[in-house]
Structure 1
Amino acid sequence: MACHTDKVADAAIDSWEKLATEIISIVGEGGFNSLYARSVFLTQPTYPWLATGASSPHNDYRFAELKMCLAGQTPAQAGAANRLLLITFTDILAALIGEQLTTSILRSAWGDDASENAGKEFKK
Protein backbone atom coordinates (compact mmCIF):
# COMPACT_ATOMS: atom_id res chain seq x y z
CA MET A 1 0.00 0.00 0.00
CA ALA A 2 2.89 2.39 0.72
CA CYS A 3 3.98 2.05 -2.91
CA HIS A 4 0.52 3.14 -4.13
CA THR A 5 0.44 6.07 -1.72
CA ASP A 6 3.90 7.16 -2.86
CA LYS A 7 2.66 7.19 -6.48
CA VAL A 8 -0.34 9.32 -5.51
CA ALA A 9 1.89 11.70 -3.55
CA ASP A 10 4.44 11.91 -6.38
CA ALA A 11 1.74 12.61 -8.96
CA ALA A 12 0.22 15.28 -6.71
CA ILE A 13 3.55 17.01 -6.21
CA ASP A 14 4.23 16.90 -9.94
CA SER A 15 0.92 18.67 -10.59
CA TRP A 16 1.63 21.27 -7.90
CA GLU A 17 5.14 21.95 -9.21
CA LYS A 18 3.84 22.55 -12.73
CA LEU A 19 1.10 24.82 -11.42
CA ALA A 20 3.51 26.69 -9.14
CA THR A 21 5.84 27.41 -12.06
CA GLU A 22 3.03 29.04 -14.03
CA ILE A 23 1.58 31.01 -11.11
CA ILE A 24 4.97 32.22 -9.84
CA SER A 25 5.82 33.55 -13.29
CA ILE A 26 2.74 35.78 -13.03
CA VAL A 27 2.38 36.76 -9.36
CA GLY A 28 5.76 35.81 -7.87
CA GLU A 29 6.67 33.56 -4.95
CA GLY A 30 4.79 35.62 -2.40
CA GLY A 31 1.58 35.60 -4.41
CA PHE A 32 1.74 31.87 -4.97
CA ASN A 33 2.59 31.17 -1.33
CA SER A 34 -0.37 33.26 -0.18
CA LEU A 35 -2.79 31.45 -2.49
CA TYR A 36 -1.39 28.06 -1.47
CA ALA A 37 -1.52 28.85 2.26
CA ARG A 38 -5.13 30.04 1.97
CA SER A 39 -6.06 26.88 0.06
CA VAL A 40 -4.49 24.65 2.71
CA PHE A 41 -6.29 26.60 5.45
CA LEU A 42 -9.66 26.18 3.73
CA THR A 43 -9.04 22.47 3.04
CA GLN A 44 -7.96 21.59 6.59
CA PRO A 45 -11.45 21.35 8.11
CA THR A 46 -12.05 18.35 5.82
CA TYR A 47 -8.49 16.97 6.06
CA PRO A 48 -6.99 18.20 9.37
CA TRP A 49 -3.76 16.26 8.76
CA LEU A 50 -2.96 18.39 5.72
CA ALA A 51 0.28 20.41 5.81
CA THR A 52 0.07 23.69 7.69
CA GLY A 53 3.52 25.12 7.04
CA ALA A 54 4.38 27.53 4.29
CA SER A 55 5.83 26.07 1.15
CA SER A 56 9.58 26.36 0.79
CA PRO A 57 10.87 28.79 -1.84
CA HIS A 58 13.35 26.19 -3.08
CA ASN A 59 11.94 24.15 -5.96
CA ASP A 60 13.29 20.86 -4.59
CA TYR A 61 11.55 21.35 -1.25
CA ARG A 62 8.57 23.57 -2.07
CA PHE A 63 6.01 20.81 -1.45
CA ALA A 64 8.00 18.52 0.85
CA GLU A 65 5.54 18.93 3.72
CA LEU A 66 2.54 18.29 1.45
CA LYS A 67 4.22 15.16 0.09
CA MET A 68 4.86 13.86 3.61
CA CYS A 69 1.24 14.49 4.60
CA LEU A 70 -0.13 12.76 1.51
CA ALA A 71 2.28 9.83 1.80
CA GLY A 72 1.06 9.21 5.35
CA GLN A 73 -2.50 8.51 4.19
CA THR A 74 -4.22 5.80 2.17
CA PRO A 75 -4.10 6.36 -1.59
CA ALA A 76 -7.83 7.19 -1.58
CA GLN A 77 -7.47 9.74 1.23
CA ALA A 78 -4.36 11.29 -0.31
CA GLY A 79 -6.03 11.59 -3.71
CA ALA A 80 -9.21 13.07 -2.28
CA ALA A 81 -7.30 15.60 -0.17
CA ASN A 82 -5.15 16.67 -3.09
CA ARG A 83 -8.19 17.05 -5.37
CA LEU A 84 -9.94 19.24 -2.80
CA LEU A 85 -6.78 21.29 -2.29
CA LEU A 86 -6.38 21.82 -6.05
CA ILE A 87 -10.06 22.70 -6.48
CA THR A 88 -9.88 25.14 -3.59
CA PHE A 89 -6.73 26.71 -5.04
CA THR A 90 -8.18 27.06 -8.54
CA ASP A 91 -11.49 28.39 -7.19
CA ILE A 92 -9.65 31.13 -5.27
CA LEU A 93 -7.53 31.90 -8.32
CA ALA A 94 -10.61 32.06 -10.56
CA ALA A 95 -12.35 34.40 -8.12
CA LEU A 96 -9.33 36.72 -8.24
CA ILE A 97 -8.43 36.69 -11.94
CA GLY A 98 -11.42 35.11 -13.67
CA GLU A 99 -12.20 31.68 -15.03
CA GLN A 100 -10.83 32.29 -18.51
CA LEU A 101 -7.37 33.33 -17.35
CA THR A 102 -7.32 30.58 -14.72
CA THR A 103 -8.18 27.98 -17.36
CA SER A 104 -5.41 29.38 -19.56
CA ILE A 105 -2.91 29.03 -16.70
CA LEU A 106 -4.05 25.47 -15.99
CA ARG A 107 -3.72 24.61 -19.67
CA SER A 108 -0.17 25.98 -19.67
CA ALA A 109 0.68 23.96 -16.56
CA TRP A 110 -1.05 20.66 -17.28
CA GLY A 111 -2.04 20.59 -20.94
CA ASP A 112 -5.43 20.78 -22.64
CA ASP A 113 -7.12 17.75 -21.07
CA ALA A 114 -6.35 18.69 -17.48
CA SER A 115 -7.42 22.30 -17.83
CA GLU A 116 -10.68 21.31 -19.53
CA ASN A 117 -11.48 18.96 -16.64
CA ALA A 118 -10.50 21.55 -14.06
CA GLY A 119 -12.60 24.15 -15.86
CA LYS A 120 -15.67 21.96 -15.30
CA GLU A 121 -15.05 22.24 -11.56
CA PHE A 122 -15.62 26.02 -11.72
CA LYS A 123 -19.13 25.52 -13.01
CA LYS A 124 -20.32 23.41 -10.07
Structure 2
Amino acid sequence: METSNLLRHQIINSRTAQLNENFAEAAIGLWEPLAAQIVSIVGEGGFNSIYVRSISKSQSTFPWLADGPMSPLNDHRFAALKMSLEGQPPKQASAAIDLLLTTFTDILASLIGEDLTKHLLRSAWGVDATDISWQET
Protein backbone atom coordinates (compact mmCIF):
# COMPACT_ATOMS: atom_id res chain seq x y z
CA MET A 1 0.00 0.00 0.00
CA GLU A 2 1.34 3.43 -0.85
CA THR A 3 2.36 5.65 2.01
CA SER A 4 -0.09 8.34 0.88
CA ASN A 5 -2.98 5.85 1.10
CA LEU A 6 -1.81 4.75 4.51
CA LEU A 7 -1.73 8.33 5.76
CA ARG A 8 -5.27 8.96 4.50
CA HIS A 9 -6.47 5.75 6.12
CA GLN A 10 -4.79 6.72 9.40
CA ILE A 11 -6.55 10.09 9.55
CA ILE A 12 -9.90 8.40 8.88
CA ASN A 13 -9.20 5.86 11.61
CA SER A 14 -8.17 8.65 13.97
CA ARG A 15 -11.39 10.58 13.29
CA THR A 16 -13.69 7.58 13.71
CA ALA A 17 -11.89 6.51 16.90
CA GLN A 18 -12.75 9.91 18.42
CA LEU A 19 -16.49 9.35 17.99
CA ASN A 20 -18.04 8.56 21.38
CA GLU A 21 -21.46 9.64 22.59
CA ASN A 22 -24.20 9.99 20.03
CA PHE A 23 -22.06 7.94 17.68
CA ALA A 24 -24.47 7.89 14.74
CA GLU A 25 -24.96 11.66 14.87
CA ALA A 26 -21.21 12.26 15.18
CA ALA A 27 -20.48 9.92 12.26
CA ILE A 28 -22.92 11.81 10.07
CA GLY A 29 -21.07 14.93 11.20
CA LEU A 30 -18.01 13.53 9.42
CA TRP A 31 -19.94 12.74 6.26
CA GLU A 32 -21.80 16.03 5.79
CA PRO A 33 -18.84 18.40 5.34
CA LEU A 34 -17.06 15.77 3.26
CA ALA A 35 -20.09 15.49 0.99
CA ALA A 36 -20.22 19.26 0.57
CA GLN A 37 -16.58 19.35 -0.51
CA ILE A 38 -16.93 16.44 -2.92
CA VAL A 39 -20.19 17.60 -4.47
CA SER A 40 -18.41 20.83 -5.41
CA ILE A 41 -15.93 18.76 -7.45
CA VAL A 42 -17.90 15.83 -8.90
CA GLY A 43 -21.50 17.00 -8.50
CA GLU A 44 -24.40 15.44 -6.63
CA GLY A 45 -24.70 12.50 -8.99
CA GLY A 46 -20.98 11.78 -8.79
CA PHE A 47 -21.01 11.87 -5.01
CA ASN A 48 -24.07 9.61 -4.85
CA SER A 49 -22.51 7.09 -7.24
CA ILE A 50 -19.31 6.84 -5.20
CA TYR A 51 -21.27 6.65 -1.94
CA VAL A 52 -23.62 3.91 -3.15
CA ARG A 53 -20.65 1.92 -4.49
CA SER A 54 -18.90 2.31 -1.12
CA ILE A 55 -21.98 1.06 0.73
CA SER A 56 -22.21 -1.91 -1.64
CA LYS A 57 -18.56 -2.86 -1.13
CA SER A 58 -18.78 -2.39 2.66
CA GLN A 59 -21.87 -4.60 2.96
CA SER A 60 -19.77 -7.73 2.51
CA THR A 61 -18.35 -6.98 5.97
CA PHE A 62 -21.34 -5.14 7.46
CA PRO A 63 -24.51 -6.44 5.73
CA TRP A 64 -26.72 -4.27 7.96
CA LEU A 65 -25.48 -1.05 6.30
CA ALA A 66 -28.45 0.64 4.64
CA ASP A 67 -28.41 0.67 0.88
CA GLY A 68 -31.54 2.70 0.27
CA PRO A 69 -31.67 5.60 -2.15
CA MET A 70 -29.93 8.82 -1.22
CA SER A 71 -32.22 11.62 -0.22
CA PRO A 72 -32.10 14.60 -2.58
CA LEU A 73 -32.27 16.88 0.44
CA ASN A 74 -28.85 17.60 1.91
CA ASP A 75 -30.10 17.55 5.50
CA HIS A 76 -31.53 14.02 4.99
CA ARG A 77 -28.79 12.63 2.71
CA PHE A 78 -27.48 10.23 5.35
CA ALA A 79 -30.74 9.33 7.11
CA ALA A 80 -30.52 5.64 6.13
CA LEU A 81 -26.89 5.43 7.25
CA LYS A 82 -27.71 7.07 10.56
CA MET A 83 -30.54 4.61 11.17
CA SER A 84 -28.25 1.67 10.35
CA LEU A 85 -25.59 2.90 12.77
CA GLU A 86 -28.08 3.54 15.57
CA GLY A 87 -29.06 -0.11 15.53
CA GLN A 88 -25.54 -1.40 16.18
CA PRO A 89 -23.19 -1.60 19.17
CA PRO A 90 -20.77 1.36 19.15
CA LYS A 91 -17.68 -0.77 18.43
CA GLN A 92 -19.28 -2.38 15.39
CA ALA A 93 -20.73 0.92 14.17
CA SER A 94 -17.30 2.53 14.51
CA ALA A 95 -15.66 -0.24 12.47
CA ALA A 96 -18.35 0.10 9.81
CA ILE A 97 -18.03 3.87 9.46
CA ASP A 98 -14.24 3.52 9.33
CA LEU A 99 -14.50 0.95 6.52
CA LEU A 100 -17.11 2.98 4.68
CA LEU A 101 -15.04 6.20 4.77
CA THR A 102 -11.90 4.32 3.76
CA THR A 103 -13.67 2.60 0.88
CA PHE A 104 -15.26 5.86 -0.22
CA THR A 105 -11.97 7.76 -0.20
CA ASP A 106 -10.16 4.89 -1.95
CA ILE A 107 -12.66 5.11 -4.81
CA LEU A 108 -12.49 8.89 -4.82
CA ALA A 109 -8.68 8.87 -4.88
CA SER A 110 -8.71 6.48 -7.84
CA LEU A 111 -10.87 9.00 -9.72
CA ILE A 112 -9.45 12.40 -8.75
CA GLY A 113 -6.05 11.53 -7.31
CA GLU A 114 -4.62 11.08 -3.86
CA ASP A 115 -3.50 14.69 -3.37
CA LEU A 116 -6.89 16.21 -4.18
CA THR A 117 -8.64 13.60 -2.03
CA LYS A 118 -6.42 14.46 0.95
CA HIS A 119 -7.00 18.15 0.31
CA LEU A 120 -10.77 17.60 0.38
CA LEU A 121 -10.51 15.66 3.66
CA ARG A 122 -8.38 18.41 5.19
CA SER A 123 -10.87 21.06 4.09
CA ALA A 124 -13.92 19.10 5.20
CA TRP A 125 -12.58 18.11 8.60
CA GLY A 126 -10.48 21.16 9.41
CA VAL A 127 -7.21 19.25 9.49
CA ASP A 128 -4.18 21.53 9.54
CA ALA A 129 -2.05 20.98 6.44
CA THR A 130 1.06 20.98 8.64
CA ASP A 131 -0.27 18.09 10.74
CA ILE A 132 2.51 15.51 10.72
CA SER A 133 0.09 12.67 10.01
CA TRP A 134 -0.66 14.21 6.61
CA GLN A 135 2.88 14.82 5.49
CA GLU A 136 4.51 12.53 2.97
CA THR A 137 7.47 10.52 4.19
TM-score > 0.5, shorter chain as reference: yes
1:62 aligns with one of 77, 90, 93: 77
Q: Secondary structure at the match of 1:12?
A: helix
Deviation at 1:15, TM superposition (A): 0.6
2:86 aligned with 1:71: yes
Deviation at 1:54, TM superposition (A): 2.2
Aligned equivalent of 1:105: 120
2:41 aligned with 1:21: no
Aligned equivalent of 1:51: 66
Aligned equivalent of 1:96: 111
- Give the residue type in structure 1 aligned to 2:99: L
Whole-Å Cα distance in 2 between the matches of residues 117 and 74 of structure 1? Answer: 32
Whole-Å Cα distance in 1 between the matches of residues 106 and 85 of structure 2? Answer: 21
TM-score (norm 1): 0.85
Q: Which moved more, 1:53-62 or 1:65-74?
A: 53-62
- The alignment of Structure 1 onto Structure 2 pairs a total of residues equal to 117
TM-score (norm 2): 0.78
Whole-Å Cα distance in 1 between the matches of residues 132 and 23 of structure 2? Answer: 18
Whole-Å Cα distance in 1 between the matches of residues 72 and 89 of structure 2? Answer: 28
1:76-111 CA distance string (max 9 Å, x none): 011110000000000001111111010001111002
Whole-Å Cα distance in 2 between the matches of residues 102 and 44 of structure 1? Answer: 23
Structure 2, unmatched stretches of 5+, are 1-18
Aligned equivalent of 2:25: 10
**Percent identity between the two aligned chains:** 61
Give the structure, 1 or 2, with the largest relative contact order (CA under 8 Å, sep 6 or more): 2
Aligned equivalent of 2:10: none
Q: Secondary structure at the match of 1:65?
A: helix
**Partners of 1:5 and 1:74 within 8 A in 2:** no
**Partners of 1:33 and 1:54 within 8 A in 2:** no
